Structure 1
């Protein structure tokens, strides 16, 4: 599999490239955001490791430009920052996962493999239809009626897990265990960021309320795909 690393810290980039190459990946490295964008658009990769703070063009812009072309290559963003604000900003640009520096190479490798598995998963699985909401694991597409809703790989994975368990309460811990695929050592409240993103994309534009918060327990995806605002669906935010 081919990986692209866009990282201006040359020692870190070389270390990551060496380790991933030893695992059998074909790795290319660039140190500038504009060059990273050019490579991402000109060549096919199975995954992109993208730093946020880059010369020429920052990682948020690179990610947004890649997604604007309809390219759904998994993107793992590296950041020296921390906090939900950065997570939310990256989600809006289409990133699939995050890793905050400093990090363990073992954890990075686990996340790379998890993203690759998730991207390849779903062939032959039947679509899940909940009212006007369709979740298709095979094509990794979500639709409201005939309108496709653009989701990142991680957003889709969260939605897919909720859809498989539609009508049942799913805890944050269960979502993390089934979606992250590794021993995540960050804030479990990151699940709230992804749920909020799904609500912004799946519900708000269509006047729906499909993901219901069950206080102190988790989330439940409505079996009817969400009632129109003013209907019987109830729940809180977060």
Structure 2
């Protein structure tokens, strides 16, 4: 998943970013509510973790603004302000979950995974399929036919992006956004290098390749070979 963390406390933010990254997710951090809202409105995140007491724009207002814009990004509020009344206010504002500080990282991760599963069920996309390739978003497992293709975390994110955009060209920029955070500075042909490894796992020696290079654009995942440009 690509996760947005909106947290002004540097120590807490570093703990969240490190833990979520080590769990295989791509994480971006905003240190104030105004920037967090702007980033959330970019529609590139799967879920957001939002502190309640933030400079510029508080977490409750951030969530309300998101919902006013009809954005359905799942949001978990993470706050030391966590009485029953406070939690109810956060949920009524439009958050999907509310967790009190201090917290156990394992519980936070479990709650985020539960929110992601709920969102996937709402989209009818717990498992993505193209041809005989399937990607289980809950188990984080890729299969080609009956064979586990052994995806690494970043490969999973790249393949998820391709499968969510099946039969459409996906630019290298979109793939970079999906699998690396904002602070990453790409060097050389890093996308092509990762895609080469992913293609070996997905297509191997099969006679029916699914990953196709689109010259001048990026890549496409399709069980129907794309038409060549004239």
TM-score of the pair, normalised by structure 2: 0.52
Q: How many residues align?
A: 125
Structure of higher CA gyration radius: 2
Partner of 2:72: 72
Structure 1 SS opposite 2:41: helix
Residue ranges of structure 1 left out of the alignment (5+ in a row): 126-238
CA contact (8 A) 2:82 2:99 kept: no
Map Cα deviations across residues 216-238 of structure 1 (whole Å, 9 max, x no partner): xxxxxxxxxxxxxxxxxxxxxxx
Deviation at 1:44, TM superposition (A): 1.8
Deviation at 1:92, TM superposition (A): 2.0
1:122-141 matched pairs, under 5 angstroms: 122=122
Deviation at 1:79, TM superposition (A): 1.1
Structure 2 SS opposite 1:42: coil
Q: Does 1:87 align with 2:87?
A: yes
Go from structure 1 to structure 2 and tell me whether the alpha carbon gap of 1:18 and 1:124 turns closer, same or farther (over 3 Å shift): closer
Deviation at 1:42, TM superposition (A): 2.4
Go from structure 1 to structure 2 and tell me whether the alpha carbon gap of 1:70 and 1:103 turns closer, same or farther (over 3 Å shift): same
Q: Tell me the distance in 1 between the aligned counterparts of 2:102 and 2:47.
A: 21
* Runs of at least 4 residues off by over 2 Å: 122-125
Structure 1 SS opposite 2:81: coil
Go from structure 1 to structure 2 and tell me whether the alpha carbon gap of 1:101 and 1:124 turns closer, same or farther (over 3 Å shift): closer
RMSD over aligned Cα, in angstroms? 1.5
Q: Tell me the distance in 2 between the aligned counterparts of 1:65 and 1:123.
A: 22
Residue ranges of structure 2 left out of the alignment (5+ in a row): 126-230
Deviation at 1:15, TM superposition (A): 1.0
TM-score of the pair, normalised by structure 1: 0.50
